[in-house]
Amino acid sequence: MLRPSPYTTVLKPYGSALVQVAERRSDVVCLGADLTRQTETDLFRDRFPDRFFNAGMAEANLIGMAAGLARAGLIPFVNTFGVFCTRRPYDQVAMSIAYPNLAVRLVGFMPGLSSPGGPSHQAIDDIALMRALPNMAVIDVGDANETRQVVQETLDVDGPLYLRLKRGEIPEILDDSYRFRLNRATVVRPGRDVVVVTAGMMLPTAIKAAEAASSEVDVAVVYSPVIKPLDGDTVLEAAEGTAGVVTAENHSVIGGLGSAVAEVMAEAALGVPLRRVGVQDRFAEPGSRPYLFSKYGLSSTAILDGIWELAGIMSPPPRVTEVEREHEGSFEPV
Amino acid sequence: MSMAKAPVMEDKELARQADRARLLAVEMVNSLGLGYLGQVLSSAELLTVAMGRFLRTGLDRFVLSPAHYVTGVYAVAAVLGRLNAGALATYGRDGSELETIGTERTPFVDHTCGSLAQGLSVGIGYALADRLAGSDARVVVFSSDGEMEEGQTWEAAIFAAHHGLSSLSVLLDCNDSQVDGPVSSVTSLEPIAAKWEAFGWEVFEVEGHDIGSISSAMTVTRDHRPRVVVARTSPTGGLEALNGSVDAHFIKMTDDLAESMTEELVRRIG
């Protein structure tokens, strides 16, 4: 299931996968808003110029046009930064796409603090916003192999999806045995003492924390890229009887994966404590990814702190070097 | 010469149908006690031309951007024989398909939005899809002057003109009415025609209660631009009973008011 680190990377897996599905499906159309290369859709534009529509910097109109195309039977992929397809045109997404339950794929790039561009570009609330909309499914993708599968296998889902993607060079963490499924989370590492539930870019961070803990705590890692509808059964099954659950997300701890897990645990009266690693209800600032991830606690160190607290171990947790991310794209504020 | 006279007769009959739609709307709103009647009174001719003359059922698309106008759609549909009186009697009642503000359930329209000014963008999406499919279908987006206050209108106007979406027509009801009063007292939208012209649209400014003028503007030879029909209308639909002083956005109906409006409309229909 898991490849060994350091992970190899794949360049533009989303952009390539989108071209692949468009080769065999003439109903796939691609929309953007002045961020073509940044959303890997230069590949689509160059291959299928007639099916590529650039709205310019006009996201309200962008969303409405996608609704019209979907109503006419096409499958629009709408590509921009996460902040610009959720926070900015929220009413348009709610009323023109989610409410009519149209098969639009909103693809939001630069998740969480992966953007060096500061609060205007850092989508720390996109999952919360999209999760609150009826009909909308939310997927926080973290692996190159998975990216390809998500594009292909959700193509005929008859409703809106929000895909949260990192751009550029994407790590290969999961091997060929991994199967993305819209209704299932995956236990990528078994463990009996503490469970880490994670999604998206935090997967390698969670794996590193679990491995570092292994001499003293047996840590399971549940990978749940589909945050809505959350596979509560897999989370509860893994969590039952353990010392606790740590959620790890590149997003605010309010409204995202941590909240979704808290909801299923509370409603099941599991009686297992929860710690949420993520952005702690704060706006960040411009900065490099390693700096921001460290400063705002999106780290193996923060996950280990949570594991240690839940396991009730008095001695300090092991020190761990953070996941190397320098191969995941250049520093390029847009 | 008989060829030239026939459309004139037809225009007169369509004008009567518009007034019949107003009459039905007065009944519906009076039965409920409240409703969006001013919108019907201003737009009856526009909706009658669009639905009764221009749109080809099963081919063309009709987007009703301001869903508050939906009462007029029901009334015109009934006049055109597409909706029966029994259905109209359910207007605005709990569980009825005929809601006071249009929704996904609304018949006769391909898209509508209660959150205003989202319709033109959806119409553009339809027009792009038609172009991809090589279809000669037309898209009519009914809009209102108040919607021009929303920025999305202009995002959409820029895009449609840039892409030369000539299959797209906007029917713009300029009734100078919004919740807080006359649009012109809230924001200055004029010169409306010049604004659309400057955004790259083919503009036809018409007297919005004149069937012939609306029809011509919708059908004259096209150029490569999207088209907007700037229709100057009154939220009273010329009814003296309303005395020009009514809150046209949302009318609270009384039996007396309904009676005098009905009398006046019956007289006009003749």
Q: Does B121 touch chain A (CB under 8 A)?
A: yes
Strands, E, within A144-225: which ranges? 161-165, 169-171, 186-189, 194-198, 219-223
First to last CA, chain B: 27
Dihedral of CA atoms A95, A96, A101, A102 in degrees, nearest 10, equals -170
pTM: 0.95
Phi/psi for A186 (5° steps) reads -125, 130
> Which residue positions in chain A have pLDDT lower than 50?
326-334
B:25-54 residues touching chain A, CB 8 A cutoff:
none
Distance CA A109, CA A123 (A): 9
CA distance A99 to chain B (A): 8
Cβ distance B121 to A29 less than 8 Å, yes or no, reads no
C-alpha distances in Å from residue A156, one per residue of A228, B2, B111: 17, 56, 22
> B132 and A29: CB-CB below 8 Å?
yes
Distance of CA B212 to the CA centre of its chain: 16
Q: How many CA atoms lie within 13 A of B77 on its CB side?
A: 18
Task: Quote the crossing angle between the two packed helices B151-162 and B119-133, to the nearest 10°.
Answer: 20
Look-up of token digits 């190397």: A324
Q: What are the structural domain ranges in chain A? A: 9-171, 186-311
DSSP string covering B202-243, please? EEEEEETT-HHHHHHHHHSPP-SS-EEEEEE--TTTT-GGGT
Domain A9-171 has CATH 3.40.50.970: yes
Number of CB pairs, chain A paired with chain B, less than 8 A apart:
92
CB A74 to CB B132 under 8 A? yes
CATH class of A186-311: alpha beta
Are the beta carbons of B118 and A73 separated by less than 8 Å? no
Q: Which residues of B touch A56 (CB under 8 A)?
A: 158-159
Q: Within the 149-188 window of chain B, which residues sit less than 8 Å (CB to CB) from chain A? A: 151-152, 155-156, 158-159
Amino acid letter, residue B197:
E
B124 to chain A, any CB pair closer than 8 A? The answer is yes
Pairing of strands A274-279, A219-223: unpaired
Beta bridge pairs of residue A217: none
Report the residue from A56, A61, A74 with minimal CB separation from B129. A74
Provide the pLDDT for residue A190. 98
**Cβ pair A67:B130 closer than 8 A:** no
Subunit contact A61:B114, Cβ cutoff 8 A: no
Q: Which of A71, A72, A96 is closest, CB to CB, to B118?
A: A96
The contact set of A with B (CB < 8 A) is: 29, 50-51, 53, 55-56, 58, 60-74, 76, 91-92, 95-96, 99-100
Q: Exposed, middle or buried: residue A23 (CB in 10 Å: 0-12, 13-18, 19+)?
A: exposed
**pLDDT value, residue A332:** 47
- ipTM of the prediction: 0.93
Per-residue confidence (pLDDT) for residue B245, from 0 to 100: 62
Residue B135 and residue A86: Cα distance in Å, rounded?
32
Q: The domain spanning residue B76 has which CATH number?
A: 3.40.50.970
Domains identified in chain B, total number: 1
The predicted pLDDT at position A325 comes to 60
C-alpha span between A41 and A50 (Å, rounded): 13
**DSSP code for A94:** I
- A267 burial via Cβ count (<10 Å: 0-12, 13-18, 19+): exposed
Residue given tokens 């890692």 in the structure block:
A221
Residue B247 has a pLDDT of 66
Q: List chain A residues with CB under 8 Å of B118.
A: 60, 64, 91-92, 95-96
Q: Which domain holds residue B195?
A: 2-269
Map residue A10 onto helix, strand or coil: strand
* Site of tokens 């749940």: A224
Q: Alpha-carbon distance B27 to B14, whole Å?
A: 20
B114 contacts A95? CB cut-off 8 A: yes
Report CB contact under 8 Å: A56, B130: no
The 10s digit of each residue's pLDDT in A196-246 is 999 999 999 999 999 999 999 999 999 999 999 999 999 999 999 999 999
Q: How far apart are CA B41 and CA B22, in angstroms?
A: 6
3-state helix, strand, coil in chain A (%, to 5): 35, 20, 45
Q: Indicate the DSSP class of residue A33.
A: S
pLDDT by 10s per residue, chain B, length 270: 344 444 555 999 999 999 999 999 999 999 998 889 999 999 999 999 999 999 999 999 999 999 999 999 999 999 999 999 889 999 999 999 999 999 999 999 999 999 999 999 999 999 999 999 999 999 999 999 999 999 999 999 999 999 999 999 999 999 999 989 999 999 999 999 999 999 999 999 999 999 999 999 999 877 899 999 999 999 999 999 887 665 666 777 889 999 999 999 999 999
Kindly report the length of chain B: 270
Contact A50 B132 (CB under 8 A): yes
